[in-house]
């Protein structure tokens, strides 16, 4: 089945032509379909569609076929059911974070898309909505016959801009044009809020915001919404991270409203790491949404004051909404398209994966500037340090989406004091990033390393430095 799937991607252009031909002819069957009735047509078409598309595309019959928009690769074979591009965990060899034996479905999808339209990066990307779970197992061909394909998401229009006086500290800092510094803190394994406050304390007055991770790596900790609310109540500026892995759209929207009601002003929308690497690998991954559809929903709550269902909110949340990007893993050329989708869906700040490779970041930022994405969203680059070359090497091999160049590992390994050398490299990286046009700031990360991260921020000499442009 897999080999036929790969064959279909290789022949995406011809198959797309066949699909277009079928789409034009299919409405001729509409009178017959109406005469048979909806359930009769469904009963007739479903086994035919399942057989044909299952054979050619390893189709999972989601009922909302998007093969023509995904290079003839079925995105439902993705372990996270991503509908809008690859996750940040694609392995260096282009294989899947969750199923290492399988090529990433989105690496295949992009190959197929290039065969259909080599200039695909020059065109605006389609935002695909979250799957309608009721349609699973049903025929998509019926919609083609009746000429009623599922609509794509419309990028937000009439975005509600928060008046300056009501903007949170992070949004004000980003808009001011000065170099922004955020830091990541993992919530504790504790019911005592003081444990969390002790982790945040080294950063008081030192950073523009503190990201609170949401079950990072698939590991269980205090909930990010509760931890963010605790920080907000104690005068910190939290960025509430929301992962799609553990909650469906009903729970996530409720949490977003709750976070806003508790004084949280920033959210970061992410798909999330798979459960397999965490401390509960037996858990059921949800992935009802992907990061792009979550961004679109969060934007709709803020701008239009309504849930994804269209039901009106009494008081909309007022949030500074962000997303993630990973320029350091395949498919490199198309990471920019993925970022563009997130910006189109409503992200106004972007935080990247760890940058250990300045040359790659430089190249990514060149393409960001070509598409003027840095003028639509504030690009905050992830940096970090670890205590030794061995620890860094472990992270590169075990944490999805982390790329560490061998030369950097060798430099740390050769140092007499590896911890000090790794810290020095982090400071040099921050200083180098500050000179790259379009980089709005840095996001400093490092698990259980709060004191060292605070030293790095204090020693890099970039706090409150004015930048040349603002969004």
- Residues in contact with ligand SF4 by CB under 6 A are 78-80, 82, 86-87, 89-90, 96-98, 104-106
Determine contact, residues 348/381, Cβ cutoff 8 Å. Answer: no
Q: Give which of 204, 259, 275, 266 is closest to 227, Cα–Cα.
A: 259
Q: Least Å distance between CB 273 and ligand SF4?
A: 10
Q: Give which of 111, 91, 110 is closest to 101, Cα–Cα.
A: 91
Residue closer to ligand SF4 (CB basis): 67 or 408: 67
Q: Is 82 helix (H, G, I), strand (E, B) or coil?
A: coil
Q: Least Å distance between CB 332 and ligand SF4?
A: 14
Q: Least Å distance between CB 242 and ligand SF4?
A: 18
Residues 6+ apart with CB under 8 A from 331: 86, 90, 94, 104, 106, 107, 110
Residue closer to ligand SF4 (CB basis): 78 or 381: 78
Q: Is the previous residue joined to 332 through a cis bond, with omega within 30 degrees of 0?
A: no
How far apart are the C-alpha atoms of 249 and 101, rounded to whole Å? 30
3-state SS of the chain: helix, strand, coil percent to 5? 45, 10, 40
Q: Between the CA atoms of 428, 430, 432 and 434, what dihedral angle is there, to the nearest 10 degrees?
A: -150
Determine contact, residues 335/365, Cβ cutoff 8 Å. Answer: no
Q: Least Å distance between CB 87 and ligand SF4?
A: 3
CB atoms within 10 A of CB 465: 13
Q: Least Å distance between CB 288 and ligand SF4?
A: 15
Residue closer to ligand SF4 (CB basis): 102 or 391: 102
Q: Between the CA atoms of 72, 76, 78 and 83, what dihedral angle is there, to the nearest 10 degrees?
A: 80
Q: Least Å distance between CB 81 and ligand SF4?
A: 8
Q: Least Å distance between CB 2 and ligand SF4?
A: 13
Residue closer to ligand SF4 (CB basis): 75 or 187: 75
Cα 53 to chain centroid distance, Å, stands at 29
Residue closer to ligand SF4 (CB basis): 184 or 273: 273
How far apart are the C-alpha atoms of 357 and 338, rounded to whole Å? 20
Q: Alpha helices, DSSP H only, in 266-378?
A: 291-303, 335-345, 358-370
Give the H or E element holding residue 443. Answer: strand 439-445
Q: Least Å distance between CB 4 and ligand SF4?
A: 18
Q: Least Å distance between CB 343 and ligand SF4?
A: 19
| CA atoms within 13 Å, Cβ hemisphere of 231 | 34
- For residue 132, give both structure tokens: 């309608």
Residue closer to ligand SF4 (CB basis): 80 or 467: 80
| CA atoms within 13 Å, Cβ hemisphere of 144 | 19
Residue closer to ligand SF4 (CB basis): 101 or 370: 101
Determine contact, residues 197/224, Cβ cutoff 8 Å. Answer: no
Q: Look at the alpha carbons of 229, 232, 238, 239 in this order and tell me if their dihedral is positive or negative.
A: positive
Determine contact, residues 248/307, Cβ cutoff 8 Å. Answer: no
Residue closer to ligand SF4 (CB basis): 80 or 423: 80
Q: Give which of 385, 442, 334 is closest to 90, Cα–Cα.
A: 334
Q: Least Å distance between CB 73 and ligand SF4?
A: 10
Residue closer to ligand SF4 (CB basis): 182 or 338: 338
Residue closer to ligand SF4 (CB basis): 291 or 433: 291
Residue closer to ligand SF4 (CB basis): 107 or 319: 107
How far apart are the C-alpha atoms of 161 and 322, rounded to whole Å? 15
Q: Least Å distance between CB 58 and ligand SF4?
A: 12
Q: Least Å distance between CB 326 and ligand SF4?
A: 11
User: Rg (Cα) of the chain, in Å, rounded?
Assistant: 23
Residue closer to ligand SF4 (CB basis): 96 or 286: 96
| Measured CA distances, 102 to 73, 205, 272, 405 (Å) | 13, 46, 19, 24
């Amino acid at each position: 089945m897999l080999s036929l799937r790969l064959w279909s991607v290789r022949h995406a252009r011809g198959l797309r032509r066949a699909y277009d031909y079928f789409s034009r002819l299919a409405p001729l069957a509409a009178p017959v379909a109406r005469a048979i009735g909806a359930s009769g047509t469904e009963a007739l078409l479903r086994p035919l569609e399942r057989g044909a598309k299952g054979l050619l595309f390893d189709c999972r019959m989601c009922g909302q076929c998007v093969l023509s928009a995904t290079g003839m690769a079925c995105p439902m074979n993705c372990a996270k059911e991503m509908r809008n591009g690859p996750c940040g965990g694609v392995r260096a060899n282009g294989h899947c974070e969750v199923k290492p034996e399988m090529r990433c479905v989105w690496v295949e999808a992009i190959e197929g898309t290039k065969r259909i339209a080599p200039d695909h990066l020059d065109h605006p990307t389609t935002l695909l909505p979250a799957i309608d779970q009721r349609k699973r197992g049903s025929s998509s061909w019926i919609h083609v016959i009746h000429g009623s394909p599922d609509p794509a998401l419309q990028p937000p229009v009439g975005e509600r801009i928060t008046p300056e006086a009501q903007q949170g500290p992070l949004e004000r800092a980003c808009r001011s044009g000065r170099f922004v510094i955020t830091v990541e803190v993992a919530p504790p394994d504790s019911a005592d809020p003081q444990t969390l406050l002790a982790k945040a304390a080294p950063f008081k007055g030192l950073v523009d915001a503190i990201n609170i991770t949401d079950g990072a790596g698939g590991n269980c900790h205090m909930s990010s919404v509760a931890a963010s609310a605790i920080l907000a109540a104690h005068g910190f500026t939290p960025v509430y991270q929301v992962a799609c892995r553990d909650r469906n759209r009903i729970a996530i929207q409720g949490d977003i409203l709750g976070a806003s009601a508790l004084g949280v002003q920033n959210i970061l929308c992410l798909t999330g790491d798979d459960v397999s690497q965490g401390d509960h690998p037996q858990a059921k991954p949800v992935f009802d949404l992907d990061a792009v559809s979550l961004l679109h929903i969060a934007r709709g709550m803020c701008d239009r004051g309504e849930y994804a269902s269209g039901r009106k909110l009494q008081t909309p949340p007022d949030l500074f909404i962000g997303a993630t990007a990973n320029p350091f893993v395949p498919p490199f050329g198309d990471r920019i398209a993925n970022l563009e989708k997130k910006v189109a869906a409503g992200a106004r700040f972007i935080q990247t994966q760890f940058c250990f490779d300045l040359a790659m970041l430089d190249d990514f930022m060149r393409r960001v500037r070509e598409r003027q994405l840095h003028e639509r969203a504030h690009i905050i680059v992830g940096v970090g340090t670890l205590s030794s070359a061995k620890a860094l090497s472990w992270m590169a091999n075990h944490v999805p989406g982390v790329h560490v160049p061998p030369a950097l590992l060798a430099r740390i390994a050769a140092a007499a004091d590896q911890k000090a050398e790794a810290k020095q490299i982090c400071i040099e990286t921050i200083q180098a990033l500050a000179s790259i046009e379009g980089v709005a700031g840095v996001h400093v990360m490092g698990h259980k390393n709060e004191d060292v991260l605070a030293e790095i921020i204090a020693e890099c000499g970039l706090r409150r430095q004015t930048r040349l442009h603002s969004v």
